[in-house]
Structure 1
Amino acid sequence: MGTVYLVGAGPGDPGLLTLRAAELIRDADVIVHDALVSAGVLERRRSDAEMVYVGKRAAEHTLSQDEINTLLIELAGRYRSVVRLKGGDPFVFGRGGEEAEALVSAGVPFEVVPGVTAGVAAPAYAGIPVTQRGLVSSVAMITGHEDPTKDESDLDWAHLARGVGTLVFYMGVGRMRGNFRRLVEGGRPADTAAAAVEWGTYPRQRVVVGTLESLPDLVEREGLGAPAIVVVGEVVRLREKLAWFESRPLFGKRIVVTRARAQASDFAASLGALGAEVLQFPTIRIQPMEDPEPLRRAAREINTFDWVLFTSVNGVSRFWDSLRDVGRDTRALAGVSVCAIGPATGAALEMEGVRPDLIPSRFVAEAVIEALEAEGELSGSRILIPRAEVARPVLPNELRARGAEVVEVAAYRTVPDGAEADSLREMLRSGSVDLVTFTASSTVDNFVDLIGAEIGSARVASIGPITSATARERGLRVDMEAREYTIPGLIRAIRENYAERGQ
């Protein structure tokens, strides 16, 4: 018998996931999740974990609650670790208590992992504290959508109107007008400040502020809908001073990251921290070569080379895998000079215990040749380049032209990854994507092969001139290009471009 973990996934921002929740998600054999669990949270799972979607939103239930309870019990009989992943906190309007009762009745072991609840997080991201010394010292969390089968409300509206400072309604947009009417009838002034926060903590967050009298009409006019948190109380007026989330430089921008998923996390996290909504569309997957022997041979013979040039983090990773495969380690590179193309590649080498002898100031063939020549005569030197199976020949050809013996070894290959191509194509067609980023020529080629060159109003950001040239050859207009051909350089170019445009 396995264990079922009732886990709070938080309100949406993956950065608000608890350490315990992240640990259980990484270890889970199967994850049973709701509609309001963000993609950024689900990406933390193991690649082989089974995913079961039980989408629960107002009037849109894939399974009934009884069916979900039965499913959890059945899964516990088949899997060691079952994570029931629920938006927010499982015991705050999450029906986690009902699921726990069903597990107890069936004799299934379970644990509860609290999560950051949307009723606190969404107002906080809107610049609204739910309590404030000297202003309000009580807060109530209320379902804005009681069971429609009940004959009468369980809520004491008169007490809520007069006896509680801040009211936080979950799922409160649909019945806002009626709920507000009850508050006013119970004695709450009609000019009490109120706010609706749609998609709280997400980059698409929208906030509308009004009063008990005006907010329902304002929300209707702006088209706000679920998921939304509604806050009532004088703390709402603090938003004018405390709003912070929307001021981030890329807030509300929907940016596509085409880098391979295994390498995209830091890039995506950096864009997300600046306020962007990141759509990961990895156009390529990194795979080992079907025949590992050429790279292993190079690893065995590493002492016969004067230089080894690493052009990417992938090349470093695959070379050290081969080094270990042949029973050697970092000490085998003693006496061999090491060149890293780019600081990320250099950092990957340092993780393996090697401090690069050379990192050229620019990451194009001409600058690499110039830097190598400054280190000594290239004629007669033997140079190893572990790189992608398909790579530009400019650098090795230039080295050979200077008399070097160059051994190119395919360390890995990139293959197209077309998952979710149809949905992204539709988003581009509808104009709901602001920017597409490219970090290598291969990402450009695979993107155009999968999606085409028609990207609507979306703009293009490139990591450097080689990638930009490929983009233009494939029919894309390049709107911004990094001056430093690195991920931080690309992020800097994106920030500066939007700042210059006043966006």
Structure 2
Amino acid sequence: MSIPADEAFGALAVPTVYFLGAGPGDPALMTRRGTDLLAAAPLVVSDPTVHDGILDAYAGAEVERMDSTELGQAATTRGRKLAGLAREHGSVVRLVPHDGVLFSATTDEAAAVRRQGVDFEIVPGVGVAASAAAYAGAPVTTNRVRSIRLVEAGEQSHIDVSKHRNTGHVINGERDDVIDALNALLGDGWDEDTPVLLTTEVSTIAQLTLETTFGLAPGRLREEVPERTRVTMFFGQGVEQHAELDWFESRPLFGWRVLIPRTKEQGRSTARELSELGAIGTIVPTIAIQPPRTPTQMERAIQGLVNGDYQWVGLTSVNAVRAVREWFEEFGLDARALAGVRVAAVGGPTAEALEDWGVTPDLVPSGEHSARGLVEDWPDRDPLIDPGGRVLLPRADIATEVLFEGLEERGWEVHDVTAYRTVRAAPPPAPVRDSIKSGDFDAVLFTSSSTVRNLVGIAGKPPSSTVVCAIGPATAQTAQEHGLDVDVLADEANLGSLISGLVGYAVKKRTEDLAEGRAPLRPSQMRPLKKR
């Protein structure tokens, strides 16, 4: 929702710089005040370490963006230039990592802004200690640990570290600075066997947590963490609880990149469900929806619905709902025109699309969410109750005949009308095509035979390392015809079952790796190898 500028920034048009903590990285952790400011900001100045996803999620396309390095190296210089930008634009949002206050130059920049006679506001974000502790499963306080020390990483870190056994410690900084801190602590007499947790890219799917010791940590950081990466280090009694509190990285699809060859509208809900399981879904539209070549049939069908010529209308996809709704709107009608007509939906997403339109479906399959499942639950026609006995099926030009034939067998007169056409979508951008063919995606979810044919046609065939998931036997057969080995076949012909199958595959593979003493790897990390 767009927030009016006067609500986000206040009614008085006073030049102001808003210092906004971005949180650890996940856009969902941005504060409400922060999202309002970003939505209404004419200019956002951000540090290079702030994730672009936050700006993409909350800053409008028209918002001007600037890298803070363009303002100079010194905090006072940046503050002076921020004040000038605020006078020019009316307001500026200065986006900084984490809470934006601790171990940050925010206060120095703010003081420089004030010296220029410009107002400022500091809006803190989720802090590094709390977010890293929560997402790494490392409590920094317990019933025995009553205090914590937050320390900036570097050669002098050991000076600020307490040796009191009831103190927890959080040291934060770039990889090499954390290594310097570890070496300084070892030189100050700390036992090399002291347990320590090191975590990076907190709250994102790139998060990595290393459970190790002081002695081994420097080597592991050099081997497993890229240079200049921010690292948060925990040590103290709370570290012992990591195994039982590791919830984020232990999600079944953590870090997986999953390809979703569906339309953007259909793919969004799938991507949301995958994100709850730890994966990131990338939508690649394989079909485009277009009006029928000859609209006359659909025009007559809409007129028949309004006149009461049909007792039922059966909708077999979200696209069918959208097409009927658009036809209604073109004629100046709304959902009330369906009064007296019973409405059937092939499954949950189609039912949700109807409810968004204000229509509660009278029939949704109790079993398999498919045309076959809809036929099984559809009532036989009773001539006394349904003397007309007509059913309208507005569908795509490539729909199957299962529903049409099944309803005719039940005594209904079926009018099968093309409401929209599906055509192959344009190829995705070159980087996406390269990622598909090189195996950067861990899995692909095929929900129909057309998604298989079209994806291969517009983007190329995924390699053998990519886990291929098919929603049903027909889709699996099409995948095999295109040279793909199917790893996951959904138990039921619906998306929930397809995702559950992928989760089962991932959990089984992880369990096997751990049982054999191997570090669990995602399919994309095994690209040079053939799938077993």
**CA displacement at 1:459 relative to structure 2:** 0.8
Match runs of 1:210-289 below 5 Å = 210-223=212-225, 225=227, 226-276=229-279, 278-284=280-286, 289=291
- Report which stretch shifted further, 171-180 or 466-475: 466-475
Aligned to 1:362: 368
Distance 1:158 1:266, change over 3 A: same
Instruction: Report the aligned-residue RMSD.
Output: 4.1
Q: Deviations over 1:250-287 (max 9, x none)?
A: 234332333333443332232222233x1413325866
Within-5 A mapping of 1:12-161: 12-25=25-38, 32-38=45-51, 41-42=54-55, 44-45=57-58, 48-50=61-63, 52=65, 54=67, 64=72, 83-101=93-111, 104=114, 111-142=121-152, 144=153, 157-161=158-162
* 1:202 pairs with one of 204, 229, 236: 204
Question: Is contact 1:26-1:44 (8 Å) kept?
Answer: no
Q: Is the counterpart of residue 436 in structure 1 residue 444 in structure 2?
A: yes
Which ranges of structure 1 fall in alignment gaps of 5 or more residues? 146-152
Paired with 1:11 and 1:474, the residues of 2 have a C-alpha distance of: 42
Contact 1:384–1:408 at 8 Å: present in 2 too?
Answer: no
**Aligned letter for 2:203?**
T
* Counterpart for residue 150 of structure 1: none
The verdict on how the C-alpha distance between 1:472 and 1:190 changes in structure 2, with shifts beyond 3 A counting, is closer
What residue number does 2:348 align with?
343
| Partners of 1:27 and 1:81 within 8 A in 2 | no
One of 389, 392, 400 as aligned partner of 1:384 = 392
Whether the 8 Å contact between 2:138 and 2:241 is mirrored in structure 1 is: yes
The alignment status of 1:482 with 2:490, answered yes or no, reads yes
What is residue 353 of structure 1 aligned with on the other side? 358
Aligned residues: 485
Q: 1:197, CA displacement in angstroms?
A: 1.0
Confirm or deny: 8 A CA contact 1:305 1:382 kept in the other structure.
yes
Task: Give the CA deviation at 1:223.
Answer: 4.5
Distance (Å, rounded) in 2 between the aligned partners of 1:39 and 1:290: 40
Q: Deviations over 1:42-74 (max 9, x none)?
A: 5534774447373x8xxxx68755797688668
Q: Does the 8 Å CA contact 1:30/1:49 hold for their aligned counterparts?
A: no
The separation in 2 between residues aligned to 1:467 and 1:109, in whole angstroms, is 61
Rounded to whole Å, the distance in 2 between the matches of 1:338 and 1:450 is 36
Give the C-alpha shift of residue 128 in structure 1: 1.0
Distance across 1 between alignment mates of 2:401 and 2:505: 30
Q: Which amino acid aligns with 1:158?
A: I
Residue 363 of structure 1: how far off its partner (Å): 3.7
Partner in structure 2 of residue 148 of structure 1: none
TM-score by length of 1: 0.79
TM-score, structure 2 as length reference = 0.75
Deviation, structure 1 residue 319: 3.1
What is the aligned counterpart of 1:493 among 492, 498, 501? 501
2:392 corresponds to which letter in structure 1? Answer: L
Question: Closer, same or farther in 2 for the Cα pair 1:313/1:9, shift >3 Å?
Answer: farther
- For 1:316 and 1:30, the matched residues in 2 are separated by 40
1:132 corresponds to which letter in structure 2?
T
Q: Which amino acid aligns with 2:466?
A: A
The one-letter amino acid paired with 1:362 is: E
Measure, in 2, the Cα distance between the counterparts of 1:195 and 1:167: 11
Aligned residue in 2 for 1:472 = 480
1:37–1:307 CA distance, 2 compared to 1 (3 A): farther
Contact 2:471 2:490 (8 Å CA) reproduced: yes
Stretch moving more, 336-345 or 223-232: 223-232
Structure 1 residues 405 and 420: alpha-carbon distance in aligned structure 2, compared to 1, 3 A threshold: closer
Query: What CA deviation, in whole Å up to 9, does each residue of 1:381-434 have, x standing for no partner?
Result: 54434445x533535764797652222212x766636555425624752x4432
1:180 and 2:186 are equivalent in the alignment: no
Give me the identity figure in percent.
31
- The alpha-carbon deviation at position 356 of structure 1 amounts to 1.5
* Partners of 1:466 and 1:74 in 2: CA distance: 63
Cα pair 1:387 1:408 within 8 Å, conserved: yes
Q: Which residue of 2 aligns with 1:171?
A: 173
Q: Secondary structure in 1 aligned to 2:418?
A: strand
**Secondary structure, aligned partner of 1:171:** strand
Deviations 1:271-319 (A, max 9, x none): 222233x141332586675999776775455223332222223432443
Q: Distance in 2 between matches of 1:62 and 1:473?
A: 54
Amino acid at match of 1:205: Q
Q: How far off is 1:14 after superposition?
A: 4.0
Would the alpha carbon gap of residues 281 and 65 (structure 1) be closer, same or farther in structure 2, given more than 3 Å must change? farther
Q: In 2, distance between residues paired with 1:499 and 1:487?
A: 18
The structural deviation recorded for 1:130 is: 1.7
Match of 1:483, SS state, is coil
The CA deviation at 1:201 is: 2.4
Say if 2:364 is the partner of 1:323: no
What amino acid sits opposite 1:327 in the alignment? G
Match of 2:22 in 1: 9
- Asked if the contact 2:264/2:284 (under 8 Å) is kept, the reply is yes
CA contact (8 A) 1:30 1:52 kept: yes
